[in-house]
Amino acid sequence: METMNIVKIDTQKLKSEIKELSEKQKFYRNQRKTVHIVGERQMLASEASYQHHVSRNKLRIMYAAYGIARGKSFSQIENNFPEDNHPLTGYQKQIDSLLKKYEIE
């Protein structure tokens, strides 16, 4: 009889990093604006736009990894798509490596 290797994920650490990155997203979104900026501009609008795009993709992968760690399927994480050909399957390697990073030994 085979034994299943149960892997535990540090979801609290992953959740806190998701919160940090989403706060940065608010900053980048504000810095992208050209007319109605709140506060002072601290970076170029083009740089903020690029950072926002990179962070958006990273957040999508982090949300997917968090959902997988909680036992959800791709269609339950992003329910706009059927499970058969879900777009998150293209990010499977990145999701797996992120889960491996937050593994508790």
Instruction: Work out whether the CA dihedral 57, 61, 62, 67 comes out positive or negative.
Output: positive
Domain positions in the chain = 14-104
In this predicted model, what pLDDT tens digit does every residue of 17-50 receive, in sequence order? 999 999 999 888 888 876 666 667 788 888 889 9
Which pLDDT band holds residue 80 (cuts at 50, 70, 90)? confident
CA 69 – CA 50 distance, rounded (Å): 29
69 pLDDT higher than 80: yes
pTM (two decimals): 0.82
- Structure-token match 């740089």, residue found: 47
